[in-house]
Amino acid sequence: MNDAELLSVDKGNWQQSFVGTEFSEHGDKRTFLFIWLFTVAVFARPEDIFPFLAPLHLTFVFGACAGLTYVTALLSGRTNFRWTRELKIVLLLTGWYIAGVPFALWRGGSFQTLTDVWLKTFLIFFLLTQVLVTVERIQKLLWAIILSELVVTSISIFQSSQAIWVGERLLGFNLGILGWNFLGIAEAVTIPYIAAIFVVRRSILEASLLGAALVSMTWMLVLTASRSGFLDVVFSGVLTSLLVLRGRSRGRVIGLAMALALVVAISLAPQVFWERLGTMWGGDDTPTNEVAASAQESGENHLAVLIQSLQYTFEHPVFGLGLGNFTIANGTDLGVSSAWVGTHNTFTELSSEAGAPALLLFVGLLITALRNIKKVVKTSLNNPEGRELNLIARATQASLLSFAFGAFFAHLAYEYYFFYLVGIGVGIQHIAGTMQAISSAPAGDLPSTLHMAAAN
């Protein structure tokens, strides 16, 4: 479309055309494709269901291909480097992790966590900030996550006899974020996006898939009998109702569906769920059975490692024990097998293993992401893409807060999941800024605005 044709199009239609077609060329499409495949591989972990896939190392292959295609696109001029405040904070965090390796309790373990876990997370986060440049891409990424969750939880439920069980609790097939105690956090950060997509989508098939994912995850969460996961999902549901669904007619439908799914799941919950949940308000009563005793002991152990992680933070306030070193230090100091566990708290994991500065940078990243998303939420754009983006921004707010709540009960400081949310937030900011620039530009300046926006 040439400049003369652009000027002949009415501004509202031109905005939609630009966002839907021209801007889809910004950012290398192949990089996004490999990021999408990586997302499926890291969430669904197909090698857990089909062990013969394990030698293929899908996450490594897709991640490496995403990085190589991005570098190629950058060098050839097909994409532009985007420098954001969130990226600066994560770079500072990475620099601090690297600086702390020589001071680690076990340097080899710290270096291994840095290279095998954190640098992979950093690479994917960086690529997300570079390729999420359209609403359509964000939607496709969210669908990759939602469908992965649907498939994994459905297989775990319908083939439960072949899945992994821990006592009477279902772990499932997935050994990553969609298994056992981590499932509640995964569902909590996904619920707002399920609600947002349902509000803007009219397809019966899409609505059915969203509903199936919600029901499947909720039922499996009940079968895992995770107390913290259950609380996080309830917290997420309340936030979603307030931030995403309030004031929308279709919002009332999905809100009712969420409440109904939770009520039905709880009413059909196995005894282990109620016994474990009852320990949260059971006071100092003596456990009445083995399940309750195990749950109470688990709670006491979590409190013990929390106190220990705070103690290590005060003892090593600058660089901490070293990345991944809490388990080793705690197990060695206490000398019992039950002590070889993580902190069960993302914030004290950071403070005890990487020092107080790392914790401040992490919290600063969370606050920065929330503030920037809040600015987008306040922006009013009179086009369908703008309204849809605003809804996704609200969902991201709820997801970030749900992760922060769940992070008090799980150690996920170096993993992908929080950084996916921040990466989505960066993409939302970029798209909103482009839409706003086009919306406020005079009709005669639209072509130059297009080129300026594509360069940012």
Is residue 211 domain-resident? yes
pLDDT band at 180 (very low <50, low <70, confident <90, very high): confident
When pLDDT is averaged across residues 187-203 and rounded to a whole number, the result is 91
Is residue 334 domain-resident? no
Residue 7 pLDDT greater than 80, yes or no: no
Supply the range of the domain harboring residue 178. 164-278
Please, is 448 exposed, middle or buried when counting C-beta atoms within 10 Å of its C-beta (0-12, 13-18, 19+)?
exposed
pLDDT in the model for residue 23? 43
Choose the weakest-confidence range: 50-54, 114-118, 335-339, 357-361. Answer: 335-339
Joined together, the tokens standing for residue 172 give: 């499932």
pLDDT band at 287 (very low <50, low <70, confident <90, very high): low
From CA 127, how far away is CA 388, in angstroms rounded?
Answer: 23
From CA 70, how far away is CA 72, in angstroms rounded?
Answer: 5
Is residue 208 domain-resident? yes
Is residue 109 domain-resident? no
When comparing pLDDT for 334 and 372, which is higher? 372
pLDDT in the model for residue 1? 46
> Average pLDDT over the chain, rounded to whole?
86
From CA 229, how far away is CA 280, in angstroms rounded?
Answer: 13
Choose the weakest-confidence range: 67-71, 230-234, 272-276, 402-406. Answer: 272-276
Residue position matching structure tokens 């190392």: 57
Tell me the three state secondary structure of residue 409: coil
CB 148 within 8 A of CB 100: no
When pLDDT is averaged across residues 125-130 and rounded to a whole number, the result is 97
Residue among 255, 228, 177 at smallest CA distance from 418:
177
Q: How many domains does the chain have?
A: 1
Report pLDDT digits (tens) over 230-251.
999 999 999 999 999 887 777 7
Is residue 23 domain-resident? no
From CA 300, how far away is CA 290, in angstroms rounded?
Answer: 15
From CA 361, how far away is CA 359, in angstroms rounded?
Answer: 5
pLDDT band at 302 (very low <50, low <70, confident <90, very high): confident
Is residue 255 domain-resident? yes
Residue 5 pLDDT greater than 70, yes or no: no
Residue 172, phi then psi, degrees to nearest 5: 90, -160
When pLDDT is averaged across residues 32-55 and rounded to a whole number, the result is 95
Residue position matching structure tokens 């949260």: 280
Report pLDDT digits (tens) over 315-345.
999 999 999 999 999 888 877 666 778 889 9
- Find residue 166's DSSP bridge partners: 169
